[in-house]
Amino acid sequence: MRVTLDAIARSNGRYRGTAIIDESYGDREFQTMHEGGIRGVRFNFVKHLGGRPDLGFFRKTVGRVKSMGWHLILHLDSTDLVEFRSEFMKLPVPMVIDHMGRVKAGDGLEQQPFKTLLEFMQNENCWVKVCGAERVSSKGPPFGDALPFARALIEAAPDRILWGTDWPHPNVGKHMPNDGDLVDLFALMAPEPALQHKILVDNPARLYGF
């Protein structure tokens, strides 16, 4: 995490960060990260990034995250939303589900993974990033078929929605997105200026402690 911590330090308090850790991280490392501006731990469940973490390590980390006042970021395959529903629903810390849960737009709004994600949004600990339209889309650029999913999530819990660029788009699928298109897409997800401000400013400020 040295590069991330250095970037945060150079920002003079303008940045926060999240961490990817392994079992070598103990109390000292967590305290160093906290003092350096880290406020969350990211877990990858997706198959193409190595698959699910050891659940014992995951649960141990949840306890550390809770004691630090941090949150989790969960990068999932859409099927994980259903399979791990009970595990995630009982988490005692805020969790941010990345890329709209990587649901498949072609499977429609009534698919079980997306219905489960909307159920999660009734839980005050659940947040979602309405980014990764290129990962959700079944049609390709400009990824407009991801819009109904983003709008439904925003409508469900506007106070717990985040957005991100995902630049430089690691592990992208068929289509490398144009970043201008993705910014334009956000304006279609949330057309009202007050709602844009909530998602881009107020919500992340609250979650990350700015």
Q: What is the pLDDT of residues 131-141, one digit of tens each?
A: 999 999 999 99
The average pLDDT across 83-108 equals 97
Structure tokens at 87: 């595990």
For residue 172, being part of any structural domain is answered with: yes
| pLDDT tens per residue across span 70-79 | 999 999 999 9
Which residues constitute the domain of residue 132? 76-208
Structure tokens at 46: 């997706």
Q: Which of 166, 179, 181, 202 is catalytic?
A: 166
The average pLDDT across 32-52 equals 94
For residue 97, being part of any structural domain is answered with: yes
pTM, to two decimals: 0.95
Q: Domain containing 201 — which CATH number?
A: 3.20.20.140
As for how many domains the chain has, the answer is 1
Assess whether pLDDT exceeds 90 at residue 48: no
Per the annotation, the verdict on 166 as an active-site residue is yes
For residue 142, being part of any structural domain is answered with: yes
Query: Bridge-partner residues for 161, per DSSP?
Result: 128
| pLDDT tens per residue across span 94-105 | 999 999 999 999
Percentage of the chain beyond pLDDT 70 is 100
Residue 19's pLDDT is 97
Structure tokens at 173: 């699928």
Structure tokens at 57: 């390590």
Residue 171's pLDDT is 82
Percentage of the chain beyond pLDDT 90 is 92
Checking 111-116 for CB contacts under 8 A at 24+ apart, the result is 111/78, 112/82, 113/78, 113/79, 113/81, 113/82, 114/78, 114/149, 114/152, 116/81, 116/82, 116/85
Assess whether pLDDT exceeds 80 at residue 173: no
For residue 67, being part of any structural domain is answered with: no
Assess whether pLDDT exceeds 90 at residue 170: no
d(CA 36, CA 13): 9
Residue 51's pLDDT is 85
For residue 99, being part of any structural domain is answered with: yes
For residue 36, being part of any structural domain is answered with: no
For residue 21, being part of any structural domain is answered with: no
Residue 179's pLDDT is 95
Assess whether pLDDT exceeds 90 at residue 142: yes
What is the number of residues in the chain? 210
For residue 146, being part of any structural domain is answered with: yes
